[in-house]
Structure 1
Amino acid sequence: MYSNYIKTGLLLFCAAFVLQVSAQDEVSVNKRIKFTKEVSSAEATTQFLQKFNLDENNTFQSTIVNQDRTGMQHEKMQQYYNGIKVEFGTIIVHAKNNAVKSINGELYNALGVNLSPTLSPQEAFEKAKAYVGAQQYLWSNPAEAAAMNYSKPTGELVLLPEMNTYSGLLNLAYKFDIYATQPVSRGEVYVDAQNGQILFNNKIIKHYYNEGREMLNDPANLVARKTTTAPFVTGTANTRYSGSRSIETRLETSGLYTLNDDSRNVFTRDAQNVVFGGGYVNNFAEFTDADNTWTLPGLDNAALDAHWGAMQSYDFWLNVQGRDGIDGNGFPMRSYVHVANPQGGGSWQNAAWNGAVMSYGDGGGGVEPLTSIDICAHEIGHGIDQFTGNLVYARESGAIDEGYADIWGAAIEFYAKGNGDDLNPNIQTWQIGEEIVPNGIGIRSMSNPNLFGDPDSYEGNNWRPTSTAGCPTPSNANDQCGVHSNSGVLNFWFYLLVQGGIGFNDAFDAYNITGIGMQKAQEIAYLVQRDYLTPNSTFLDTRNGAVEVAINLYGSNSPEAIATQDAFHGVNVGTVYTPLATDARLVSVSDSEIHCGLNTYSPRVRVENAGVTTPITSVDINYTIAGGPVNTFTYTGNIPVGAIQDIDLPVITLTKGLKVFSFTIVVFNDGNATNNQETFRLRVNEIGAVQQVYDFETTDDDLITYSEGAGQLWTRGTYSQTGSVFETTTLTGEVYATNLSGDYVGNTRSYLLTDCYDLNGVTNPQIVFDMAYDIEENWDYLYVEYTTDSGNTWNTLGTAADANWYNSDRTAASSGNTDCFACIGSQWTGTNTTMQEYSYNLSALNNESSVIFRFVLVTDQNVNNEGVIIDNLAINTSLSVGEFDTINAFSVYPNPSNGNFSIQANKSLGDVSVHIFDINGRNLYSKDVNLTGTVNFDLDNLRSGLYILRVTGEDFVQSTKIIIE
């Protein structure tokens, strides 16, 4: 969605793979790059600029970061040139353990492009309107437009790749989202900003059918082809296609129930036979029922299928793929049934996603209402693509979009109805729309695309031309160069991946595939769509992404990776898998972000024997630290074929801070050396002592700092801002500040880490520090996090309701979406210029043996203030304050001692409890005694060191320090 196609003349990148890359002539818009040395996201981008002569005027803005279950992070970034967005300019950075592993994407060189428009936005807008030539537009109906979050376009100035000869040249253009309602159409129209020519119209509305296809007007032809080859409550719905199903509804104040599931953001409405694109999104009717047992008359019951189908789609995306709705953030699923034909009204034999909502026609001419669950899931699937791969709706990328929509239709039908089993779903799963046409025929087949005149092989029988020679300009008349028909290739690939199959493709290549089942196949498909596809991706690019995903999830020569590659070979995309006798794969090295301790780090190397015949008995493991000398460790043992071996290396002594490790394994006769490297970043941290105050006066108190974004913020030193808002009389000596002599940096997230603490058994621990802050209120903010698993997961410490802690619980929702867009609801924001002590009770963590805290400052790209100053940081216990008082109830002698000492009461104290703690607050010794005179103690088992002796009586507590020599 929202992009277009370019196939040659581009600067394009993708990751390298372990399995064999195609040697055939399929089209790819992605070259592949894999990093075998440590590189950060920013450094990787810089290398791209240098390698392909892209100057420093090219910048990249992060749009989304996803993470898969292996811990791999996938950051999608948009290209800009001199601040102007480059359409389709996208890179996706794949990183693990803070080190980039690979990048795929497409970049464009704007050097020499005229960036000064001749036309004004209004002049260009008139050109776009004249091109569309509609009688009425959605912006003429403000209420309807607002209901779809649409407004009259003002024109975005972009750099658009040249669209006819695919030269990769860029044109300065105005981009307009034109939504016409009479006649209906919606597309992104690009107008040349120099001469007013229409450069391209990218279709936004996506239909279930290709409306020009013969089958739509003659359902009997399908038979011929088949024979030839608020408070929400639970109700019961008698659906048209899926029998009796539980649905969630809303009980209105009228006492009637409506088809509104507020828990899922699923809403189903009556369009009242308004034509597609008309004013029904805002002006609709509700379906109602008196007792929440729904049996709607006539065609109305199709609304029950649309409602249940959207509910099941939402549950699938959340429960199976971990995605909160269409956009991943609860985007509402709004369905409208009884939508009329935009060409003259009457019954509409189609369904569509228009960029915001789903619309369903009542069918006609033998076609039933288009609300079966696979059709509902198909239309919602187009929305999923809009917020993930964002594929161009034309040529190969458009066919992939349609293929994915069918894949989600099949997967969600299987999820909701559970027919067959994971490795062998029933035949209806693979029929698209079988419930809306006579005799359960459907309109496409995933298991046999040829049945409906669609190809099952890339450029095979029934393939619609996608090249400029065969299809010069995408249009409705040519189905945008075959997007619905050519989707059969991806459909058949998914079928083979799930169920397997034996046969020959249209290139006369034999295939023999063992299926991996629906659960695994749909995860692979989704991660490719979400994390690897760029707007102009082709079938080969999809294949390459799928192979990499399968390897990341299951291993190099796993059955899953083999099936993924062979299933694409089965549809004539890429080569068949070829086994290797010996293949050692370096799976991973450790899995922690932070290591606590300077002389206790032992890397754990995970090695897989990905070969098929030869056990591995010896592995040389070479590693460097920060590009230093090579260290070698040799493992001898036995790693059988298909097995994975964890190898612990000898302990390495390290200094505090960020360490960059590069590992390589070497195995005799290794048939594939491309999977033998692994690079990762490790932050090495010291062990902190409870009750030690970090006053930051010397380098001994240095802490680890780092940031995401524009640059490093936290710095130790003397604060010296001229004209500072802070009360400098309260600032003494060295501190940690986000900037010692100026405002903080914008558009970044900066971290200040404490040392590691063992709180196991510590009595009443608390974090204490002095702080002053000057933060742009409700836009930038500071909070504290902690981790107990070496930085793999972080949790916010405390809330604004806790005493002496955060001053704000504001969020975007609580503030009415006017500010605090990124606020987490537990933070400091605004200004307090006087150093003040803050503290938080950590008793909930006193069973944790390795706890790290970090201060996080989050800033936006706009106003910057002076920032944050922190001093006198400590993790204390209740022993540290108020107990070394003047009660003087007893004395200890000798002190120091060898562990044999006496406590002498200065007055009769009666029955008391005696406890001895180490300096970290652990209770090492307890005894109840009667202290009326002198009591002797023999504790020579204690190690030398400083301890705290506490005596607790009926009406007093007194502590004193003792030394064991």
Structure 2
Amino acid sequence: EYTDADNNWTGQTSAVQTFFGINQAWQYYVNRHGRNSYDNGGANINAYNEAGFTNSSGNTYWSNASWSQGSQVLRFGDNGNAGAGDDWNATDIVGHEFTHAVTQFSAGLDYNGESGALNESFSDIFGEMVELFSEGAVDWLVGADRGAIRDMTNPNNFNDPDTYLGTNWVAVGGTCDGTNDFCGVHTNSGVQNFWFYLLAVGGTGVNDNGDTYTVQGIGTTSAARIAYRSLTQYLTNSSGYADAKNGAIQAAIDLFGDCSNEVLQCARAWNAVGVNSTDLYGYDIDVDCTILTFVHGLGIDLHYTAFNDIQSDCNIASNGALVDFEAGHVIFLKPGFESGDGFHAFINPCAAPRPAPPVESVVISGAKPELNVPGEAPGFEAWPNPSDGVVNFSFKTDRPSAVRLTVYDGNGQPVYQWQAPDESPAGELKHTWDAQAMPPGLYYAELVTADNRMVQKITRIQR
């Protein structure tokens, strides 16, 4: 609430603008994303206008705006002069700072390196969406009403990168602190900013890697829904650009379906800004052989899906588990690639994930009899799946047996293990894994008994 004793607001233009911007940010998140305040729990919003800031030399300055995580207060500077026109409280800037609060209470992106760049980018994105919600138009210029500081249509205009690791990219590594903008968080944010602009509006061009791209815009409403779901459901404090790509594509699938145009354009936009894939899903995929070998060695079926091309030089052993390459355009099996039974490659113009292997298949060199290594087995269940916290397991044994349960993350690293203290009797057994501290993503639960080795995929989400 903001009040005035005599109801004369002539000298309080700046404070009124700050109050208006906060109200618009709150209204935007409620009406567009169903979020009740920044914490989604109806928190009161506290702000200071004409606030001062202290630099590393101990001097006070007024040319900034901020969200303070500890005190949970918004601050807006007046640029050090009496005029209100250049204050740091334009509607998109207020929306930007409000979104830092949303990020703290969702993904919690660390404020350094790539995670910090994503933190800044989400604030730029939703700052512009608050401006659009409030004014009915968007200029894609961060802070334009008081003097723009970033351009989402062409980040290079402010010496920010539009391509991952491309021109103007600030190296991430070593000490990240205030002397180097925490490894370029306000600069490297340009990559996701440009991704969002392309996803919303579309565009054609050539990125810094020499890749030609064409993206068909899906509109700001759909693009914002994808970005919001990625931020609040799939990213964690340490997420980088590869995680942002995966989170956005999965969010698009959740919202619009596997084979939707929104998913295709989302993947194309990430490819346009140079965030390419080595993992299971993307526009172009260059298969990471180390991860493939590890996960395949667990007897888990792997389905690589690319909207455009897949390339691989991996050696895929024959062990009874399936490896599928599904591409919308071309599959390149480079020198060094080998595979036996269980490998399938096929072209699907839609390139949507499939629940089962295709009838059409290509088996490449060295075919061998398949081993009896069970994959996902009906005798081993995990629920709820997807899960936002606790995962329950149930499994059956035909005779008394030692039992070991191991959970691996998507990179093949064990993150949890349980072993029955004694030989378990025959019949149904149950166990509970508290996964609340684990980041969202794909996990593999491996159960080993005297007679069987079974695997279940588990998707961890964030509510």
TM bucket by the smaller chain? 0.5 to 0.7
| Aligned CA distance change for structure 1 residues 341 and 531 (closer, same or farther; 3 Å) | closer
Aligned match for 2:166, one of 460, 469, 473:
460
C-alpha distance in structure 1 between counterparts of 2:97 and 2:195, whole Å: 20
| Aligned CA distance change for structure 1 residues 304 and 573 (closer, same or farther; 3 Å) | same
Aligned-residue offset at 1:612: 7.7
1:298-337 equivalent positions in 2, closer than 5 A: 300-337=12-49
| Aligned CA distance change for structure 1 residues 678 and 331 (closer, same or farther; 3 Å) | farther
Contact 1:347 1:362 in 2 (8 A): no
Matched, 1:570 2:272: yes
Matched, 1:405 2:123: yes
Matched, 1:371 2:89: yes
C-alpha distance in structure 2 between counterparts of 1:454 and 1:308, whole Å: 30
1:57-456 equivalent positions in 2, closer than 5 A: 259=2, 287-291=3-7, 295-297=9-11, 300-342=12-54, 348-355=62-69, 356-364=72-80, 368-419=86-137, 426=138, 428=139, 430-437=140-147, 442-456=148-162
C-alpha distance in structure 2 between counterparts of 1:378 and 1:327, whole Å: 15
Matched, 1:555 2:257: yes
Tell me what 1:538 maps to: 240
Matched, 1:498 2:200: yes
Amino acid at match of 1:302: S
| Aligned CA distance change for structure 1 residues 560 and 289 (closer, same or farther; 3 Å) | farther
Tell me what 2:177 maps to: 475
Tell me what 2:334 maps to: none
Aligned-residue offset at 1:296: 2.8
SS in 2 for 1:320: helix
* Structure with a larger share of its residues in strand: 1
Amino acid at match of 2:144: E
C-alpha distance in structure 2 between counterparts of 1:710 and 1:510, whole Å: 44
SS in 2 for 1:484: helix
Aligned-residue offset at 1:312: 1.1
SS in 1 for 2:266: helix
TM-score (norm 1): 0.30
Aligned-residue offset at 1:568: 0.8
C-alpha distance in structure 1 between counterparts of 2:5 and 2:156, whole Å: 44
Tell me what 1:908 maps to: none
C-alpha distance in structure 2 between counterparts of 1:364 and 1:534, whole Å: 37
C-alpha distance in structure 1 between counterparts of 2:391 and 2:171, whole Å: 46
| Aligned CA distance change for structure 1 residues 710 and 373 (closer, same or farther; 3 Å) | closer
* Structure with a larger share of its residues in helix: 2
Q: Structure 2 unaligned runs (5+)?
A: 277-281, 285-305, 310-325, 330-348, 363-375, 384-388, 394-433, 435-463
Aligned match for 1:518, one of 200, 220, 231:
220
Amino acid at match of 2:360: N
Amino acid at match of 1:412: V
Aligned-residue offset at 1:416: 1.1
C-alpha distance in structure 2 between counterparts of 1:670 and 1:352, whole Å: 56
Post-superposition Cα deviations, 1:405-464, rounded to whole Å, max 9, x if no partner, equal: 101101111111112xxxxxx4x2x00001112xxxx01111111101111111111111
| Aligned CA distance change for structure 1 residues 476 and 681 (closer, same or farther; 3 Å) | same
Tell me what 1:668 maps to: 359
C-alpha distance in structure 2 between counterparts of 1:387 and 1:411, whole Å: 19
C-alpha distance in structure 2 between counterparts of 1:462 and 1:386, whole Å: 27
Contact 2:264 2:307 in 1 (8 A): no
| Aligned CA distance change for structure 1 residues 711 and 669 (closer, same or farther; 3 Å) | closer
Contact 1:395 1:482 in 2 (8 A): yes
SS in 2 for 1:383: helix
1:697-716 equivalent positions in 2, closer than 5 A: none
C-alpha distance in structure 2 between counterparts of 1:392 and 1:525, whole Å: 18
C-alpha distance in structure 2 between counterparts of 1:558 and 1:395, whole Å: 32
Tell me what 2:461 maps to: none
| Aligned CA distance change for structure 1 residues 354 and 497 (closer, same or farther; 3 Å) | same
Contact 2:51 2:76 in 1 (8 A): yes
C-alpha distance in structure 2 between counterparts of 1:667 and 1:709, whole Å: 34
C-alpha distance in structure 1 between counterparts of 2:14 and 2:192, whole Å: 29
Aligned-residue offset at 1:381: 0.8
| Aligned CA distance change for structure 1 residues 678 and 351 (closer, same or farther; 3 Å) | farther
Aligned-residue offset at 1:668: 3.1
Matched, 1:486 2:188: yes
| Aligned CA distance change for structure 1 residues 611 and 289 (closer, same or farther; 3 Å) | farther
Amino acid at match of 1:383: A
C-alpha distance in structure 2 between counterparts of 1:709 and 1:346, whole Å: 48
Contact 1:305 1:372 in 2 (8 A): yes
How many residues matched? 307
Aligned-residue offset at 1:682: 12
| Aligned CA distance change for structure 1 residues 532 and 682 (closer, same or farther; 3 Å) | closer
Aligned-residue offset at 1:340: 2.5
| Aligned CA distance change for structure 1 residues 479 and 346 (closer, same or farther; 3 Å) | closer
Aligned-residue offset at 1:315: 1.1
The root-mean-square deviation of aligned C-alpha atoms, in Å, is: 3.4
Contact 1:664 1:678 in 2 (8 A): no
Q: Structure 1 unaligned runs (5+)?
A: 1-248, 250-258, 260-286, 420-425, 582-609, 614-640, 645-662, 672-676, 684-707, 713-747, 749-965
C-alpha distance in structure 2 between counterparts of 1:678 and 1:434, whole Å: 57
Aligned-residue offset at 1:554: 1.7
Amino acid at match of 2:76: Y
C-alpha distance in structure 2 between counterparts of 1:709 and 1:412, whole Å: 35
C-alpha distance in structure 2 between counterparts of 1:664 and 1:567, whole Å: 26
C-alpha distance in structure 2 between counterparts of 1:551 and 1:516, whole Å: 14
TM-score (norm 2): 0.60
Amino acid at match of 1:416: S
SS in 2 for 1:329: coil
Amino acid at match of 1:350: N
SS in 1 for 2:50: strand
Amino acid at match of 1:348: W
Aligned-residue offset at 1:498: 0.3
Aligned-residue offset at 1:331: 1.4
C-alpha distance in structure 2 between counterparts of 1:341 and 1:387, whole Å: 24
Contact 2:24 2:130 in 1 (8 A): yes
C-alpha distance in structure 1 between counterparts of 2:103 and 2:275, whole Å: 22
Post-superposition Cα deviations, 1:508-533, rounded to whole Å, max 9, x if no partner, equal: 11110001111111111111111111
C-alpha distance in structure 1 between counterparts of 2:144 and 2:210, whole Å: 30
Amino acid at match of 2:238: N
SS in 1 for 2:76: strand
Aligned-residue offset at 1:579: 4.5
Contact 2:65 2:88 in 1 (8 A): yes
Identity %: 34
Amino acid at match of 2:10: L
Amino acid at match of 1:391: L
SS in 1 for 2:253: helix
Aligned-residue offset at 1:546: 1.0
C-alpha distance in structure 1 between counterparts of 2:59 and 2:382, whole Å: 64
1:579-658 equivalent positions in 2, closer than 5 A: 579=307
Contact 1:502 1:511 in 2 (8 A): yes
SS in 2 for 1:288: coil
Select the structure of larger CA radius of gyration.
Answer: 1
